[in-house]
Amino acid sequence: MIRRILVAAALLAVALPAGAQTVAITNATVYTMTDAGRIENATIVIEGERIRAVGAGVAVPSGARVLDAGGRPVTPGFFDAWSHVGTVEISGVPGTNDSSVDDARVTAAFNTADAFNPRSMLIPVTRIEGVTRALVAPRPSGHIIGGQAIVVHLGGGNGWLVRTPAAMIVQLGERGAELSGGSRAAAMLRLREALQDARDFASNRRAWERGTRREYAPSRLDLEALQPVISGRIPLLALVDRASDIEALLRLAREFELRLVISGGAEAWMVADQLVAAGVPVVLDPLVNLPGSFEMLGATGENAARLHAAGVRIAFATGDTHNARNLRQSAGNAVARGLPWDAALAAVTVNAPRMFGIESFGTIAPGAAADIVVWDGDPLEVTSYPDAVFINGERIPMRSRQTELRDRYLPRARTLPHAYQ
């Protein structure tokens, strides 16, 4: 308890206003997520929103505010590669749920950026546990094409939108079949038609505008939204679990020369060699270890370890809103099931941004975004907790609705577990 009080006091001393000056984190065990690997006794210099320098011999700039990490682990901020943070507040209250749309006229054009709430009560709950950025994805509802996912940072205020669109969401497998009349074949046919129409629209836009080109199945808004997909500027992020469904998607990706990312992938380990050959990464939840349906009969807690061993790039996701903070618990479980610790850390830091074409986040290196977490122990242990969180160079208050309720109602004299002190 005394140590926690001292740490809190030290962090309070370096509290920074928005747009603040230079900060130096000293005496840190830094996991850079670059070729530099782990650096002991390192100093990180943050200037504005970026990291200026990192290394064991880096001098502290004159006038910098100093945070002594005391040898503790320091990592990049964590990235949830599939979430609904900021678009769902209370799952059972429709008025607070903006993650899906049932209007079949708006599919690919649906973009969660216009509904994202940077003041959501759930964002502080998530970020004080080390998750600083997320892919916010729509939920496919009335059509197999769910719409456009975005990447956001969880620092609040203005400038929260990092990339839009970041990916196009499509639902296949059992749910895709249900949305397409009852068969997986029909779902693939609808997706292929949409891609063909978008490609034809790109080549014959003027003729279509003059009314001398055939009609298209998607609306004009959807045709426009599909252009970054068919040109390869953003990936098609496909929710699919069964191995045969993944193989069908790999064939489609070759046909249309798409950037493909698999999400879910409960049976992805069964086709790992094909994924490696195609250069297709997988976003998964390591806690999925049992068959939840007939399309997940091959589900196993060793999925992440097997994919990594085969050479597939993996990233971890919660697919959640209220429990996006449990991302590191998922990573820790993957380690317990055979995934190397360093690979698990990469799966919650650097890997996901690379899947979506973001090079400036996920590492501790000069020029990278200053999303940094100082931990009080192993960041993949559930008993560890962040001592400090920086997002875009700004120290985040370690407060949330949950901590406020704790402070108000929890008896003061009680001995608490370390994470709650």
pTM equals: 0.91
Q: What is the pLDDT of residue 20?
A: 54
Query: Is the peptide bond prior to 165 cis by the omega test (within 30 degrees of 0)?
Result: yes
How far apart are the C-alpha atoms of 336 and 411, rounded to whole Å?
Answer: 35
Q: What is the mean pLDDT of residues 151-158?
A: 90
How far, in Å, are 17, 128, 172, 250, 353 from residue 77 at the CA level?
19, 10, 31, 32, 11
Which part of the chain is CATH 3.20.20.140?
78-355
H and E: helices and strands count for the chain: 13, 16
Q: What is the pLDDT of residue 413?
A: 57
Mean pLDDT of the chain: 92
pLDDT grade for 2, boundaries at 50, 70 and 90: very low
pLDDT grade for 132, boundaries at 50, 70 and 90: very high
Domain 2-76+370-420 belongs in CATH node 2.30.40.10: yes
How far apart are the C-alpha atoms of 170 and 208, rounded to whole Å?
Answer: 26
Q: What is the mean pLDDT of residues 59-64?
A: 95
Q: What is the pLDDT of residue 102?
A: 78
Classify domain 78-355 by CATH number: 3.20.20.140
Which part of the chain is CATH 2.30.40.10?
2-76+370-420
Q: What is the pLDDT of residue 17?
A: 44
pLDDT of 124 strictly over 50? yes
